[in-house]
Chain A
Amino acid sequence: MTEPRVKLPEKVKKGEVFEIKTLISHPMESGQRKDAQGKTIPRLIISRFACRFNGEEIFSADWAAAISANPYLSFYAALTESGKMDFEWVDDEGKKFVHSTTVKVE
Chain B
Amino acid sequence: MTETIPTRRAVLGGASALAVAACVPAAALGQTAAQTSPAADFAQALKKAAGAATPQPGKVAIAAPEIADNGATVAVTFSVDHPMTAASHVRKITVLADGNPNPEVAVFHLTPRSGKAEVATRVRLAKTQNLVALAELNDGALFIAKREIKVTIGGCGG
| Proximity string of chain B (45-74) to chain A, C-beta cutoff 8 Å, 1 when within and 0 when not | 000000000000000000000000000111
Q: Please determine whether B121 and A71 come into contact, CB atoms closer than 8 angstroms.
A: yes
Q: Between A and B, how many residue pairs show CB distances below 8 Å?
A: 100
Which of these, A33, A63, A65, A79, contacts B113 with CB under 8 Å? A79
A101 within 8 A of B: no
Question: Is A64 a contact of B106 with CB atoms below 8 Å?
Answer: yes
Interface check A1, CB cutoff 8 A: no
Flag whether B120 is at the interface (Cβ < 8 A): yes
B115 at the interface (CB under 8 A from A): yes
A65: B residues at CB distance < 8 A: 101-102, 124
**Chain A, interface SS category:** strand
- The residue among B72, B101, B106 with the most chain A CB atoms within 10 A of its own CB is B106
Q: Are B107 and A62 closer than 8 Å at their CB atoms?
A: yes
Task: Give Cα A32 to B125, complex, Å.
Answer: 13
Number of interface residues of B (CB under 8 A): 34
Complex-state Cα separation, A18 to B123, whole angstroms: 23
A25 interfacial by beta-carbon distance below 8 Å = no
Tell yes or no: A34 within 8 A of B by CB: yes
A52, chain B: closest CB distance, angstroms: 10
Q: Is the CB of A76 within 8 A of B100?
A: no
A60 to B125, CA, bound (A): 22
Check if A67 sits within 8 Å of B121, measured CB to CB: yes
- B100 touches which one: A18, A60, A66, A69 (CB < 8 A)? A66
CA distance A69 to B72 in the complex (A): 8
Neighbouring A residues of B107 by C-beta, 8 Å = 61-62
With contacts A17-B115, A57-B111, A58-B114 taken as known, whether A68 is within 8 angstroms of B122 at the C-beta atoms is: yes
B156:A30 contact, CB within 8 angstroms:
yes
Task: List residues of chain B with CB within 8 A of the CB of A2.
Answer: none
Query: What is A's interface to B at a CB cutoff of 8 Å?
Result: 17-18, 30, 32-34, 53, 56-69, 71-79
